[in-house]
Amino acid sequence: MSLTRLIVLATVLAWVVVALGAYVRLSDAGLGCPDWPGCYGHIGAPSGPEQQRAALAAFPDRPVEAPKAWKEMIHRYAAGTLGLLILAIFVAAWREKGRALRLSAALVALVTFQALLGRWTVTELLKPAIVSAHLLGGMATLALLAWLALTRGRAVADSGGALRVWAALALAAVAGQIALGGWTSAHYAALACGDGLTCRGAWIPPMDFAAGFFGSAATADALTAIHWSHRVGALAVCAILVPFVAGLFGKGERLIGGLIAALLALQLALGAANVALGLPLASAVPHNAVAALLLVALVAANWKLRSVSPSPASGGGVGERESGRLCE
């Protein structure tokens, strides 16, 4: 398989791993297996009576819940496959001696750290800081793979310097909102407000930001601070993405602009559904998956606005050199 196909396959699988991780977390299966990388000492969830007895003897305080265990293991299988694909990308890039080598090496380091975070997620019993870091690591892996996949294609025309700043701001805003979303999910604060547009009956309810972001986050005011911050973050994202999309349309970039606008609208609708319907998996998991797609769309927008098409006189030197610097 060619290096380009490996990168595209890994990018798609990275998105699947992010979605599976959300499903495991939101279905309360994050501790479906009490050990790592196996499950009760097996490569899969204990299935037969003998295996389950052995598992109970080894972990007497953690009775086997096979459905949760299998959810966790399927996520681990997918993540392990992604790790092997990224290793294969690095080997292929090494052989190619091309501009993908440095970024592929960074991906190997990142996915190795992700594996450690996956282990600590279990051994530290879903500590919010580790769970949030694990989510961000998965999103970063997806973003880097998407960038690497884009650099395998032809450089495209520069669309204007002003939009580059908006593109960077938009990417940073969505990344920050994803971090807030992960913090909200890790603290089970998605329903802390309990009502519609207001929060606990007020636009600015009682909140404890210190406990929510630096303490135990066990009180209602602390959880409210986390959830309210995520809501405000959504408004900030809209305030940046709406003019950015308008700028893209003004420059004739209707495809990427329309995609970002559609994903943003869908993400807002899913967020509202989570609150209105009590966080059902049918909207909560897509809320994470669409956030990942929005991140990829903004990575693509940044790449498109920062690439320069090769000039006929140079035979592609300028465009190739700029794209090369970005992906090395």
Q: Report the catalytic residues.
A: 72
Cα distance from N-terminal residue to C-terminal residue, the chain:
22
Q: Confirm if 13 and 142 have CB atoms less than 8 A apart.
A: no
CA dist 54 and 43 (Å) reads 14
Distance of CA 218 to the CA centre of its chain: 25
How many Å apart are CA 106 and CA 88, to the nearest integer? 13
CA 324 to mean position of chain CA atoms: 25
* Distance in angstroms (rounded) separating the CA atoms of residues 109 and 115: 10
- Residue 199, classed as helix, strand or coil, is strand
Provide the Cα torsion 119, 30, 44, 80; round to 10°.
-50
DSSP state of 311: P
What CA–CA distance (Å, rounded) separates 14 from 1?
18
